[in-house]
Structure 1
Amino acid sequence: MDRASVVVITHNRREQLRGTLQRLAALPERPPILVADNASTDGTADLVAREFPEMRLLRLDENLGAVGRNLAVREVTTPYVAFCDDDTAWQPGALAQAADVLDAHPGLASVTGRCLVEPDLREDPITPELRFSPVPGPPWLPGPALLGVLAGLTMIRVSAFREAGGFSSRLWLGGEEELLALDLAARGWWMCWRGDVVIHHAPSRLRDPRRRRGLGIRNTLWTLLLRRPWRSVFRRAAAVLSEAPRDRTTAAAVAECLRGLPWVLRERAVVPAEVERGLRMLEESQRRSQARRYVG
Structure 2
Amino acid sequence: MNNGIAAGLKDAGSRISVVVLTHNRAARLRETLCRLRALPECPRIIVADNASTDDTVLMIALAFPDVRVVQCGSNSGAAGRNQAVACVETDYVAFCDDDTWWEPGSLAQAVRALDASPRAAVLNARIVVGDAGETDPTCVVMRNSPLDSTGLPGPALVGYMAGASVFRTAVFRESGGYDARLFIGGEEELLALDVLGRGHAIAYCDSLTVAHHPSAVRDSALRRRMLARNAAWIAWLRLPVGVAIGRTFEALLAFWREGTLLNDGETLLCGFVWAIGERQRASRDVLWMLREVKRHERRRASMPRATGARTARSREQNCPESVEP
TM-score (norm 2): 0.85
Give the superposition deviation at 1:252.
Answer: 4.4
1:30 corresponds to which residue?
42
2:288 corresponds to which residue?
277
Give the superposition deviation at 1:282.
Answer: 2.2
Moved more, 50-59 or 26-35: 50-59
CA distance in 2, matches of 1:198, 1:276: 29
Give a deviation string over 1:131-158, Cα, whole Å, max 9, x none: 0112334x21221111112111100001
User: Paired residue for 1:191, among 175, 196, 202?
Assistant: 202
2:173 pairs with 1:154: no
Moved more, 189-198 or 243-252: 243-252
Give the superposition deviation at 1:295.
Answer: 8.1
2:312 pairs with 1:292: yes
1:7 corresponds to which residue?
19
CA distance in 2, matches of 1:40, 1:208: 19
User: Paired residue for 2:68, among 56, 60, 63?
Assistant: 56
Equivalent AA in structure 1 for residue 229 of structure 2? R
1:123 corresponds to which residue?
135
Moved more, 255-264 or 271-280: 255-264
CA distance in 2, matches of 1:239, 1:136: 31
Q: Within 5 A, what are the aligned runs for 1:17-166?
A: 17-137=29-149, 139-166=150-177
Give the superposition deviation at 1:122.
Answer: 0.7
Moved more, 250-259 or 142-151: 250-259
Equivalent AA in structure 2 for residue 117 of structure 1? V
User: Paired residue for 2:227, among 216, 224, 228?
Assistant: 216
Give the superposition deviation at 1:239.
Answer: 5.9
CA distance in 1, matches of 2:73, 2:246: 40
Look at both structures and tell me which one has the larger radius of gyration over its CA atoms. Answer: 2
Q: Secondary structure at the match of 1:66?
A: helix
Give a deviation string over 1:177-233, Cα, whole Å, max 9, x none: 110000000110100001110110000234432222221111111111111011232
Gaps of 5+ in 1: none
Give a deviation string over 1:43-68, Cα, whole Å, max 9, x none: 11111111000000112231111111
Query: How many equivalent residue pairs?
Result: 295
Give the superposition deviation at 1:277.
Answer: 0.9
In structure 2, relative to structure 1, the CA distance for the partners of 1:144 and 1:65 (3 Å cut) is: same
Give the superposition deviation at 1:165.
Answer: 0.5
In structure 2, relative to structure 1, the CA distance for the partners of 1:179 and 1:15 (3 Å cut) is: same
CA distance in 2, matches of 1:94, 1:119: 19
In structure 2, relative to structure 1, the CA distance for the partners of 1:49 and 1:286 (3 Å cut) is: farther
CA distance in 2, matches of 1:122, 1:245: 34
Q: Contact (CA 8 Å) 1:13, 1:206: kept in 2 or not?
A: no
Equivalent AA in structure 2 for residue 272 of structure 1? S
More helix as a share of residues: 2
